[in-house]
Amino acid sequence: MNIKIRDNVFYCELNDNIAIANVKPMMQEFKNQIERNGDRFNVVKIDLSKAQSIDSLSITFLISVYKNLLANNKKMILYRVPEPMMQLFKIMKLDEAFEIEN
């Protein structure tokens, strides 16, 4: 996971598939970064271009991040979402909850 903060935006590029094997360390790193740098950004942009698959725990992770940010008056944007993942988000109606840019 690559992270940078620029112009009040927290950019997170996921470098692998989002699956149970790597979601727990990713969740912890994400939480640590937000706790350390939460005052430096208003928007979190998550680049999913390198993640070709996602499992249920990872979807729960994204929902949790979304709710946490919303509760703290911050915004989450998913971008560069691969088409198979986008289709899953549409089936689950997550495309209606998440802001998505492609």
What pTM, to 2 d.p., does this model score? 0.86
Residue given tokens 């970064």 in the structure block: 33
Which domains are present in the chain? 2-101 (3.30.750.24)
- Residue pLDDT, tens place only, 55-93: 888 888 889 889 988 988 999 999 999 999 999 999 999
pLDDT at 94: 95
Which residues, 6 or more positions from 8, have their beta carbon under 8 angstroms from its beta carbon? 40, 41, 42, 43
| Each residue's pLDDT tens digit, 5-56 | 999 999 988 776 666 667 778 778 878 888 888 889 999 999 999 887 788 8
